A and B are shown apart, each in its own frame.
Chain A
Amino acid sequence: MADLEIDLMRHRATRAGQRLDLTSKEFLLLTLLARRAGEVLSRTLIAESVWDMNFDSDTNVVDVNVRRLRSKMDDPFPVKLIHTVRGAGYVFETES
């Protein structure tokens, strides 16, 4: 996807050939977003899929985690992959 590669077997992700230093939860989050690219994922759904928090939890926490993931895999690169949909959640897209 664009210049992002995810190696599910080895739990590793690289962007533009650079290895991304992700925690296991960040890796899970990235995989979730990438698998359902183009689909707007709500914070609740993300919290449930990645952290197993199956209730309307404190959704700010998802924002914090997405921000951290972005700082590692989006910020250093010109093309942004994770986009915020206000009020709804996040979407993984190659073009905005």
Chain B
Amino acid sequence: MNFGYLIVVNENNKHNYSRLAYALALSIKNTQKPGYDQVALVIDDPEYIKDYNSTWVFDHVITWNNKKGWDGRSYMDQLSPFDHTVCLDADMLFLRDYSHWIDYFIENSELYIANKSYTYRGEEVTNNYYRKCFTANELPNLYSFYTFFVKNSPLAKEFFDLQREIINNPVEFSNSFLTKYKPKVVGTDEAFALAAKILDITDEVAYKLEFPRVVHFKGMIQNWPYAADVASDHVGFYFDRNAKLKIGNYQQHDIVHYVEKDKITLETINTLEEIAWKKK
């Protein structure tokens, strides 16, 4: 089996994405079983990671700067060095071993895309505040933050080719297919959902499954009785010395998509590094 996680980052001045990817890679090394903990980083300039203490957590570093911004994830199928890949958003943390689900995906899927997210309290997100385009245009509720695919799968190829077309021609596709609510930007999530809908493969690539469980830590979808822009203004984000994470009163065990980039501090990195070194 040749399996690994793929993280695609494009550095910019606002957020230190390579540091987020580094934290995620450390958390993968710290929690996943050997054989299920390979990580490939796709980055526009490897200079950004050269000063990190443990760059060995990136089993592959791929330099790629053909496309700027988040569009890089649209090329995940072409960039991955693995036969079986899960592509992740950089601003996520792994908090326990999910390896058994990789066996499931390899056995049963050519392409699987996350189609649910959860609040920090473990409730499925039903609020469409950030997804009005999806509900208005009846798009499948896909999230690109966790995407499993098999290299050279015809289904995956057809899907990724179409979503690239959408990303590269957002106005044309918006005008034709997203007429009821046009998004400001056709992002990867919208492109994934529209591609799945056009190809009519939603039932194949996003069927009901208890995994991945990803906590989507955006303010407006936490089932609070008030509007909340920044989620951590309302509940604490407690990352302890054992790399265990509590949000508010809730211990987190699922994958956490923390969204707020400043949650990964130097202290967070040091904690993750210490555990990784001990494990090594």
> Do chains A and B stick together as partners?
no
Residues of A that sit less than 8 Å from B by CB:
none
